[in-house]
Chains A and B, each alone.
Chain A
Amino acid sequence: MKKYQSSDPFKDARVTSGCAHMNDQDDPVTMILRLKDVRKTAHNWKTFQSGATPGRIVIPSEVNIRDTRQIPFEVDPPLHGSFRSLLDPWFKRPLEEHYQETLAQQVNALVDDVLKAESIDVVEDFALCLQSRALTLLLNTDVGEADTWISWGTHVFRSEDDPLDGDKAAILYDYIDEKIKASSPNPEGDLYSVLLAAEVEGKKLTHEEIKGIMILTFAGGRDTVINAVTNTISYFAQHPESLDRLRKEPEIIGRAIEELIRYFTPLTQMGRVVTQDTQVCEHAIKANSRVSLCWASANRDESVFESPNDVILDRKLNPHVSFGFSHHNCLGATHARQIMRVLIETLVAKVGSIDIIDFEENIENLGEFERKVGFRQLNINIHPR
């Protein structure tokens, strides 16, 4: 089996039933597997709510390890829209030239480093550094902060033996508490200062609200970006001809980014809490139970995507939901896409080939399904052009 492959464990259930069931800490989940159903459910926020008990829409549920509501993630319209109006312009900054130049410098330096090394673990030595340094740009904070975030390791929320480790999550909460306290309002400053200066619906944000926003930029943008970057490297290791092709046809890089993000779907699913008895694709769903929007399955829906299990770098029509859909679509998507662009451009310019030495996959257990979402370790040799 090819190492980059990300299989489609949901196929049979998607085709025959459209739904599947998984248990999670005695709060079971109905997984929604078809693209159209996922989209409709994501759009219908009145029946499928995000603003439930904090942590409940995440799978595995985080209700036992946190009380802070993540904003805008765990807020429903119309308040959700007010927060998005505040945050959207800030999270579009990756479109600015200066941002892109600095990001390119960061990625160039990192790639130069790993080209010199004997061998590297892509997860720890590359993707984590890239993600952390790039996040300093998104927060408009000192690049030195990245060293602190890198020192937390890839698993800031969990320890080896406990996937839901409240004590570990506390490191991040304490860090953010300190940062907010040490900042003062400044609309031109870093994200903490900007939020301290901001108003939503005519009111200043509380400490708890700012914390809920900041935590999300760390939590939502960490594993997802690391998975996207690591999977992309594994793909190019198996497909040196794709590096050649993108060198000759740089105009398809935009499509290649979307296709790699569709194919690998770095965030498998996200939940909603059902507010009234309802139905999804003819399955009855009870009020106060949970559903999941299974982005990973929707992205392989054979009724929409031709050859869904192939990476077609210049796929022209690609209505994937890797960044979610409708109101809660990913706030970090502009940043994530820019990371992918700079990464691919840098690899194309500098890298001739990549050899995989060994690896350990990161497999999620989702009831009857097992899905590879990325790697725990991916050791490679990387060679210059």
Chain B
Amino acid sequence: MAKITFITQNNIPVVVEGEAGSVMALAVENNIAGIDGDCGGVCSCATCHVHVAQEQFALVGEASEIEKDMLELDDDANEYSRLCCQIDITPALDGLVLTVAG
């Protein structure tokens, strides 16, 4: 079980809880604004872009080459960007804070 906080466009934090699966799927289930997950999580749509809090980046780790290539052309990307369909929920993510990009 992990509690994850999403901060959406209007700066409202939403706390949700997940057991397993991807962070994108959890966000979509909870109707987090700005996380659409159009491609279902295969890394082709970039509608699941989040910024990880700097001090927590090690928790989620670096993006893969393929994910980095997607982010490289995203105008809102920074060094703490991830596509959250590529982050699996584990207990280690408890307390994670993600800001929805865009």
Contact = CB atoms under 8 A, between A and B. Distances in A.
Contact of B39 (A40, A43, A258, A304): A258
B69 A318 contact: no
A333 B38 contact: yes
A39 interface: yes
A276 interface: no
Contacts of B44: 258, 262, 318-321, 323
Contacts of A39: 69, 73
A36 interface: yes
B69 A319 contact: yes
Interface residues of A, number: 25
B75 to A, nearest CB: 9
A323 B47 CA distance: 13
B64 interface: yes
Contact of B42 (A317, A321, A329, A333): A317
B73 A258 contact: no
Contacts of B45: 323, 329
Given A255-B40, A257-B40, A317 B73 contact: no
B40 A36 contact: no
A334 B69 contact: no
Given A333-B38, A337-B38, A317 B69 contact: no
The residue in A40, A262, A304, A319 that gathers the most chain B C-beta atoms within 10 A of its C-beta is A319
Interface in A302-336: 304, 315-321, 323, 325-326, 329, 333-334
Contacts of A40: 73
B61 to A, nearest CB: 16
A384 interface: no
Interface residues of B, number: 14
A334 B38 contact: yes
Interface in B14-40: 36, 38-40
A299 to B, nearest CB: 10
A333 B47 CA distance: 13
Nearest to B69: A36
Contacts of B41: 254
A106 to B, nearest CB: 22
A316 B73 contact: no
A315 B41 CA distance: 11
Contacts of A304: 66, 69
B87 interface: no
B83 to A, nearest CB: 10
A316 B66 CA distance: 12
A43 B73 contact: yes
Contacts of B69: 36, 39, 304, 319
Contacts of A262: 44
B70 interface: yes
Interface string B55-99: 000000000101001100100000000000000000000000000
A266 to B, nearest CB: 15
A123 B42 CA distance: 29
Contacts of A326: 73
Interface of B: 36, 38-45, 64, 66, 69-70, 73
22 contacts: A39-B69, A39-B73, A43-B73, A254-B40, A254-B41, A258-B39, A258-B40, A262-B44, A304-B66, A317-B43, A317-B66, A318-B42, A318-B43, A319-B44, A319-B66, A319-B69, A319-B70, A320-B44, A323-B44, A323-B45, A325-B73, A326-B73
Which 6 A-B pairs rank lowest in CB-CB distance, beginning with the nearest?
A: A254-B40, A318-B42, A43-B73, A319-B44, A258-B42, A319-B43
Given A317-B64, A323-B44, 18 more contacts: A39-B73, A40-B73, A92-B36, A254-B41, A255-B40, A255-B42, A258-B40, A258-B44, A262-B44, A316-B42, A317-B66, A319-B42, A319-B66, A320-B44, A321-B44, A323-B45, A329-B45, A337-B38
